[in-house]
Structure 1
Amino acid sequence: MTQDGFYQSLSPSRDFAGLTRAGAFTPLPRDWMVGCCDIVNSTDLIASGRYKTVNTIGASVIAAMINALQGVPFPYVFGGDGASFAVGPEHADIARDTLARLRSWASAEFDIDLRAALLPVSWIRAEGLDVAVARYAVSEAADYAMFAGGGLNWAERQMKLGGFEVPPAPLPDPPDLTGLSCRWNTIPARNGLILSVVVQPVPTASAKDFAKIAGDILAMADQLQRNGHPVPEEGPSFSFPPPGLTLEAKISRGKTALILRKAQLFIQTTLAAYALSRKRPLGSFDAQHYRRMLVANADFRKFDDGLKLTLDCPPQVRDDITRILEKAATAGHARYGLHEQDEALVTCIVPSVMRDDHVHFIDGASGGYTQAALRMAASDRTTA
């Protein structure tokens, strides 16, 4: 089945908790390819206060693939300091070229070492693992891929060991990152703290065991206002000039001189600030509607070979979630990492402000998923 046919045949679900039930995920076709990317030494960048850059480069993988595939839908997931995706065999060369150009671009533009790998699903299945996918509809206009089966985690581990490497492209054209932006301010916690949660089943855990753990955590989040959604109903705030102006100029300039691209963006963001400050539409652009769709389309919770959440919650809920996870870890059913911070961060891919299918990746603003995953790994070493 072609990529378009397979992925579009999956019906998007509006029931996030329902993704814990048996049969919610469909295995990828065996001839598909899995791609992944992450930043080497992202912890050093986080420590220096550059997590907005980390998030933006992580999301660049998705933006570049969206543009390279020219509207063909494909499953992807954002991980903070990187991303993973899957494509049909007919798009393997496009994926390889895009990853190669991303590596060269990240090095030339940011002096950042980006790892990349591409491998067949059949190889993952030979290891006794799988890559299965579901579609979760956050709104009528947008949905995100959810992954299960352990295959993405295995692929990422192989990538970090140098396996299935996609080398940087020699003297490439910059990747097309149209739509990728980072103009919003960080989002302060309204209920105490922003909690980043990463939970994964251990290899010996049954699907039923992990479904119970995920269900208990989601039930805890469901007690929060708007399920712990970290973005306020009116959307994030916008200041002028936006704090990510130079960063956006770097990711969008292509072969344009940086100073010229910054000047272009300054004009664009001046108009955007005016439009966002109005209470009524500016021409055909309705800024209030756009903000509402941003909130609706935000990916603050996902299944990525486990459960990942970014929650705005009080300390009591953090403690309750910690107790659930400690019990699961003691029983040998799950491994986990938590990281708390004062703010959340949003990174956007907006093909057009006139459509409602824009997507928005939510993470903690001081390390988020990356720091939570590091704590999970550190806990593994302690208990080994």
Structure 2
Amino acid sequence: MTQDGFYQSLAPSRDFAGLTRSGAFTPLPRDWMVGCCDIVNSTDLIATGRYKTVNTIGASAIAAMINALGGTPFPYVFGGDGASFAVAPEHADIARDTLARLRSWTSAEFDIELRAALLPVSWIRAEGLDVAVARYAVSDAADYAMFAGGGLNWAERQMKLGGFEVPPAPLPDPPDLTGLSCRWNTIPARNGMILSVVVQPHSRASARDFAKIASDVLAVADKLQRHGHPVPEGGPSFSFPPPGLTLEAKMSRGKTALILRKLQLFVQTVFAAYALTRKRPIGGFDAQHYRRMLVANADFRKFDDGLKLTLDCPAEVRDEITHILEKAAAAGQVRYGLHEQDEALVTCIVPSAMRDDHVHFIDGAAGGYTQAALRMAAASNPAAA
């Protein structure tokens, strides 16, 4: 019997704050597989202004897995410079092949090294940790997986040490990245700054302790208009030609010549730009409705073995969140990192613009989650910084 139905059987919740409550997460079956990947030396790419490339490669594992599984739902989470996911055991070979091809393709197309690992949940539990999952519905059409238990963080640390490695494929056969898109402009802060927040429970903290701290941080964010959502209600702006056209062409060209794929995308973008200026649907495509769904489906807050937020907020809100986290860190309950920037960016996976189930990953445009995580690591281990 296949286990595809496990994740689909979990009821999505519309209450994000409710995910801090006991019993909100369900452990994965023990023979499920956990996969993860991230970019080696992503900080160097960020320093040269290539964080849009970092984000898009980070999201590529999710797009590739969605296509490889033919739309079968599975839990995944976007991390800025990488991604993590879990699949049923019957999909282990697909996951391994997809990660292997991603590694060789990223190296050949971008000269960027991608790490990747795959391991059973049972091995994580043998370390005294867990991988538990919940579904958070951002709209009636889209939901995202939330993770708890510490298992994903442990798997990612092992990956960075070379454990459970998925080697690159011998030949750079490109993965199917249909739907992965990066055409929107960056999104300027409207309320002072775009604040990236990464908070993880300390090993000494109880689940109740961390839930209280996360609830306190979310209560501050909830005082902001639309919970600090960084994407304006009308959606991000769009310029022509879009700044991410060449990047998207590289991502989606497969074995097509780059210049030909750029031409194809250019033609598509002409139609998109025209549609976005119209108030009425064109050929069944309603650009205004699409923008509304982009905003509704945006992934600007998540639980990923901790709490991650991308907030559009003023300095006083940053200070209030910092005060909560400093106090909790001094008590040995959490580790945290914050990063401020002037803009956010959005990376999209759109299987079809005619449906409402497209997903949109939000991050800070100047390092975002990656920089916040680095600051968290430096604060936890100053000697290594």
Same-fold status (TM-score > 0.5): yes
Cα distance in 2 between the residues matched to 1:232 and 1:27: 35
Contact 1:59–1:78 (Cα < 8 Å) also in 2 = yes
Q: Secondary structure at the match of 1:318?
A: helix
Cα distance in 2 between the residues matched to 1:239 and 1:246: 14
1:11 is aligned to 2:7: no
* Aligned residue in 2 for 1:28: 28
TM-score (norm 2): 0.99
Matched ranges for 1:35-50 at <5 A: 35-50=35-50
Q: Secondary structure at the match of 2:73?
A: coil
Measured after TM superposition, the shift of residue 383 of structure 1 is 8.1
* Aligned residue in 2 for 1:249: 249
* Aligned residue in 2 for 1:144: 144
Distance 1:218 1:383, change over 3 A: farther
Matched ranges for 1:114-193 at <5 A: 114-193=114-193
Cα distance in 2 between the residues matched to 1:25 and 1:318: 28
1:66 is aligned to 2:66: yes
- Equivalent AA in structure 2 for residue 146 of structure 1: M
1:101 is aligned to 2:87: no
Cα distance in 2 between the residues matched to 1:227 and 1:366: 21
* Aligned residue in 2 for 1:92: 92
1:376 is aligned to 2:376: yes
Matched ranges for 1:290-305 at <5 A: 290-305=290-305
Cα distance in 1 between the residues matched to 2:277 and 2:359: 22
Cα distance in 2 between the residues matched to 1:316 and 1:173: 50
Cα distance in 1 between the residues matched to 2:2 and 2:132: 16
**Unmatched 5+ residue regions in structure 2?**
none
* Aligned residue in 2 for 1:335: 335
RMSD: 0.9
Q: Secondary structure at the match of 2:354?
A: coil
* Aligned residue in 1 for 2:204: 204
Cα distance in 2 between the residues matched to 1:252 and 1:358: 17
* Aligned residue in 2 for 1:311: 311
Contact 1:3–1:74 (Cα < 8 Å) also in 2 = no
Cα distance in 2 between the residues matched to 1:342 and 1:116: 31
Q: Secondary structure at the match of 1:215?
A: helix
Cα distance in 2 between the residues matched to 1:6 and 1:383: 43
* Aligned residue in 1 for 2:266: 266
Cα distance in 2 between the residues matched to 1:9 and 1:204: 33
- Equivalent AA in structure 1 for residue 115 of structure 2: R
Matched ranges for 1:231-246 at <5 A: 231-246=231-246
TM-score (norm 1): 0.99
- Equivalent AA in structure 1 for residue 211 of structure 2: A
Measured after TM superposition, the shift of residue 172 of structure 1 is 3.7
* Aligned residue in 1 for 2:282: 282
- Equivalent AA in structure 2 for residue 319 of structure 1: D
Measured after TM superposition, the shift of residue 277 of structure 1 is 1.1
Measured after TM superposition, the shift of residue 281 of structure 1 is 1.0
Cα distance in 1 between the residues matched to 2:128 and 2:146: 20
Q: Secondary structure at the match of 1:254?
A: coil
* Aligned residue in 2 for 1:194: 194
Measured after TM superposition, the shift of residue 3 of structure 1 is 3.3
Cα distance in 2 between the residues matched to 1:63 and 1:5: 20
- Equivalent AA in structure 1 for residue 355 of structure 2: R
Q: What's the CA shift string for 1:154-187, capped at 9, x where partnerless?
A: 0000000000000000114200000000000000
Cα distance in 2 between the residues matched to 1:181 and 1:383: 40
Identity of aligned residues (%): 89
Measured after TM superposition, the shift of residue 293 of structure 1 is 0.2
* Aligned residue in 2 for 1:345: 345
Q: Secondary structure at the match of 1:3?
A: coil
Q: Secondary structure at the match of 1:195?
A: strand
- Equivalent AA in structure 1 for residue 360 of structure 2: H
